[in-house]
Amino acid sequence: MLSRVADSIYWLNRYVERAENVARFVDVNLNMLLDAPSGMEQQWEPLVFITGDQARFKARYGEATAENILRFLTFDREYSNSIISCLCSARENARSVREVISSEMWEQVNSFYLMVNEAADVGAISDLHNFFPEVKMASHLFAGVMDATMAHTEGWHFGQLGRLLERADKTARILDVKYYILLPSVTDVGSPLDDLQWIALLKSASAYEMYRKCQYRITPQGVTEFLILNREFPRSIQFCLIEAERSLHCISGTPMGSWRTDSDRTLGRLRSELDYLTIDEISQQGLHEFLDDLQTRLNDVGEKIFTDFFALQPVA
C-alpha cells in the first residue's frame, strides 16, 4: 500500500475520533455545570488546558468565557483541533484516498462534514446540547461503516491504529478534566457533588452503564481504574493499546510478543507496562502526572509509526 495512502487513512481516522472526543469532553463539562449548585463559578478554562493549546486560545480570544471556549473548540476554522477543523482535515484525507476506502465511508465522512459545516454556519452556541450527541453518533457511524464495508487488510489496520491511539490519548485527557475542575472546598471531596462529577465523567466516555455492570459503586479509584486499565471496555486506555498493538502487528507481520520495528517496540512496551500496573501505583504517582506521561509516550508511538511506515525515503 502506498505510504501516502496509509498515512491518509491513519489521519482520517484520528481526526474523526478527535472530533468525537472534543465533543465528549465539552459535553462532560456542560453536564457537570448543569448539576453544579447555583452560585458556584462556571469553570470552562480547564477545557482549554486539556487541549494543551492555552497559548493559541489566549491569543485569539483573551477572556475564557463559556461562549469563547465553545466557539474555539467547535467552530473555529483557524484552530486546527476544533471540531470543524478536524472534520475538514478528515474529509481532505478521505478525499485523497477515495479509491481505497469504500464509497460508504466517503459518503459518511462527507455528510458528517456537511452536518458540522451547516451547524458552524448557523453558529448558534446556545443550541450545542443537541450538536454534541450528533457528532458522537456520526463518528460511531463512520467507525461502523468502515468496519462493515472495508476489507480488514493493511489499510483498515492503519485506520484502526489511528483511531485507537487517538482514543487512548483522549480518554486520558477526559480523565484529566476532573483533575482541573475544582470543588468548592476540600471537604466536598467524596460529597454528592463530587460523585455527580464522576458520574458525568463516566457518561462522557459512554462508560456509565458498563461501569455499573462491572462494579456497582462509583468511587474515584474505581472510575480511573475502569477507564485506564479495563481490558474489555472499548474506550479504556488499555483496551485501545491492546487493539492498536494487534493492528500494528498485522501490518508489520511481526509475531505478538516480539518486535522488529521501533513502533512494535514502543507500543508493545507501553501496553505490557499497563498489563502489570495497579491503580494504587497510579495513585501513588499521581493521576495527573501519570496521564501526562502517558500522553507523551503515546505521541512517541505516533512518531515511530511515522518514521517506520510513512516517511519512506527512496534509495538514492
Partner 1 sequence: MLFDAYDPGDFFDELFMAPGQPRSEAELLVQRVNALTLDDLQQRQQTAQNALFKLGVTFNVYSDNQGTERILPFDVIPRIVPGHEWEWLEKGLKQRIYALNCFIHDVYNDQKILNDGVIPRHVVESAPGFLKPCMGLKPPNNIWCHITGTDLVRDKDGKWYVLEDNMRCPSGVSYVLENRRVMKNTFPHLFAAMDIAAVDDYASQLLETLLNLVPDTLISPRVAVLTPGAYNSAYFEHSFLAQQIGAELVEGRDLVVADGYLKMRTTKGLERVDVVYRRIDDDFIDPKAFRPDSLLGVPGLMEVYRAGRVAIANALGTGVADDKLVYAYVPQMIRYYLDEEQMIPNVPTYLCEDSTQQAHVLSHLDQLVVKATNASGGYGMLVGPHATEEQRAEFSDRILANPRGYIAQPTLCLSRVPTLFDDGLAGCHVDLRPYILYGQDIYVNPGGLTRVALKRGSLVVNSSQGGGSKDTWVVKSVDPNAQLPHDQQQGQ
**Of 142 and 309, CB closest to partner 1:** 309
CB of 251 to partner 1, least distance (A): 7
User: Burial level of 105, CB count in 10 A (0-12/13-18/19+)?
Assistant: buried
CB of 4 to partner 1, least distance (A): 5
Which residue is listed with cell 456497582?
Answer: 216
**Of 66 and 115, CB closest to partner 1:** 115
Give CA–CA dist 105/148, Å, rounded: 10
Binding site for partner 1 (CB under 8 A): 1-4, 6, 92, 95-100, 103, 106-107, 110-111, 154, 158, 251, 309-310, 312, 314-315
Give CA–CA dist 126/147, Å, rounded: 34
CB of 132 to partner 1, least distance (A): 24
| CA distances (Å), origin 282, targets 5, 54, 244, 285, 292 | 38, 26, 22, 5, 12
Give buried/exposed letters for 113-124 (b at 16+ CB in 10 A, else e).
Answer: beebeebbeeee
**Of 8 and 224, CB closest to partner 1:** 8
**Of 111 and 272, CB closest to partner 1:** 111
| CA distances (Å), origin 29, targets 10, 92, 159, 236, 263 | 29, 30, 29, 19, 35
CB of 100 to partner 1, least distance (A): 8
**Of 24 and 91, CB closest to partner 1:** 91
**Of 63 and 121, CB closest to partner 1:** 121
CB of 245 to partner 1, least distance (A): 17
CB of 310 to partner 1, least distance (A): 8
Give CA–CA dist 37/175, Å, rounded: 22
Give CA–CA dist 185/197, Å, rounded: 14
**Of 98 and 265, CB closest to partner 1:** 98
CB of 116 to partner 1, least distance (A): 14
> Is the CB of residue 6 less than 8 Å from the CB of residue 309?
yes
